[in-house]
Structure 1
Amino acid sequence: RGQRLVEILKQPQYKPMPWVDQVLSIFAATNGFLDDQPISALSKFETEFLTFIKTNKADLRKSIEKANKIDDSAEAELKSALDEFTQAFSA
């Protein structure tokens, strides 16, 4: 998992991603949702996952941003969203 976490934390120089997107990516990595993905596909996974959240789960993203944390209900919804996304994602 460590190598996947390092890959997911990489960002372009001078273009830091919003903290809420970092939290979503780290959550996916630390909860095993990246374990079955090849290292070479992680950048694509992260980009498409964050787009999926912004497009389909904008309320979830806003609630995490507003609360400054992932509470229990947001965690359950986020895990469900990750399950949905990982089933549809193809590297």
Structure 2
Amino acid sequence: MPITAMDIHQVAKTIHHCIRCPLHETRTRAVPGEGPVEADLMLIGEGPGYHEDKQARPFVGNAGQFLEELLDSIGYKRRDVFITNVVKC
């Protein structure tokens, strides 16, 4: 079954309300991911750090800047890639 934008929104909603493990106790915000669902490229990181938790976005701060430089070197922009983490909080 193909993934649709509605599926992604439902997953994000579930992530924001998740309390299934102790990580929810220390997070400020969950980080479900961002970018176009139909992207040709999907990047998956390990888990949100301090800056990601504060901004609720994957790969921000120094890691995000480095990622954007890497993407640029292969002809991609951040807005063209779906970026998420294995762990969401």
User: Which structure exhibits the higher relative contact order, with contacts defined as CA atoms closer than 8 Å and separated by 6 or more residues?
Assistant: 2
Same fold (TM over 0.5): no
- Structure 1 length-normalised TM: 0.26
| Higher strand proportion (structure 1 or 2) | 2
- Structure 2 length-normalised TM: 0.27
| Higher helix proportion (structure 1 or 2) | 1
- Of structures 1 and 2, the larger Rg is shown by 2
